[in-house]
Amino acid sequence: MRDLFAPLNDCPAYRQIANLIEQRIVERSLRTGDALPSETDLARQFGVNRSTVREAIRELEIQGLLGRGRGGKRLRVTRPEHDHVSGGVSRALALHDVTFQELWEAMMAIEPAAAQYAAARRSASQMEALMRACAHFERDAAHTAAAVAAEVEFFTAVAAASGNQVLALSQASLNLLLVPALTRMLDRIPQARTRIREAQTKITSAIKLRKSEQARAWMEKHIRDFKRGHELENGPREASGDACLESQARRQSRLR
């Protein structure tokens, strides 16, 4: 069998190995489910000892790119779960001092499109997930942390139902930034809960009836309401982009 990899140069070895294996996975030379060569064979191909290979493999397992099946010993290429991908993006966004205006613009680009596609493509199980998210918000609306979690669950369910993995991953990446802004709004604006409940109900109904344009219109209204709530809490100057979400979002990022 032809070797997949050439020996390494003098740069830090384990990181090179991890990057090279990741490159093979991304370019689909190694596909999901493919078995990775043994540690001994990889050490021979890279010209390093097995402990260096093991360190690289550990890093790729953390990223969700490699894993072992139940009861299996052989490492295989795996597909990262959404939280592996979106978590890193979320932390990067938080560390770049993202403003509320930037968050809102991204939500306006992603969420209405996701709702529109969800109405056309959703499955029965995805519809059930949406309805569960609405029920969770209804049940937990009085408790801020639980209500925020239910609203994030709702956005996640809509994006999943869109059938577009890029939209789903992009939406998931915004959750870290959405949580602190939404928490402050629910704590300080009593009517916000009622408006969220109404929007969730309308969006869910439109998706259930497969009314794409109606689902998009209600989601746009929902995201505009989010901005209005932020303006009521902070004033229009801060909502326009002068205030950043960095402090609270960064603190949450450090806890992950």
What does the block give as tokens for 13? 């070895």
Say if residues 46 and 17 touch (Cβ distance below 8 Å): yes
Task: Give me the count of residues in the chain.
Answer: 256
| Mean of pLDDT over the chain | 82
List where CATH 1.10.10.10 sits in the chain. 13-77
Residues above pLDDT 70, as percent of the chain: 80
Structure confidence at residue 249 (pLDDT): 43
- Please, which residues bridge with residue 191 across strands? none
Q: Which pair of structure tokens corresponds to residue 89?
A: 């993006």
Q: Does 83-254 carry CATH code 3.40.50.2300?
A: no
Place 19 in a pLDDT band, splitting at 50, 70 and 90.
confident
Residue 78: its pLDDT value, please? 84
Which one is predicted more confidently, 46 or 72?
46
Q: Are 57 and 143 in contact (CB under 8 A)?
A: no
What global pTM score does this model have?
0.63
Examine the pLDDT at 90 and tell me if it is beyond 70: no
The residue with greater pLDDT, 84 or 33, is 33
Which top CATH class is 13-77? mainly alpha
Computed over its alpha carbons, how large is the radius of gyration of the chain? 22
Q: How far apart are CA 60 and CA 77, in angstroms?
A: 10
Question: What's residue 179's pLDDT?
Answer: 83
Start-end of CATH 1.20.120.530 domains in the chain? 83-254
Residue 92 has pLDDT above 80, yes or no: no
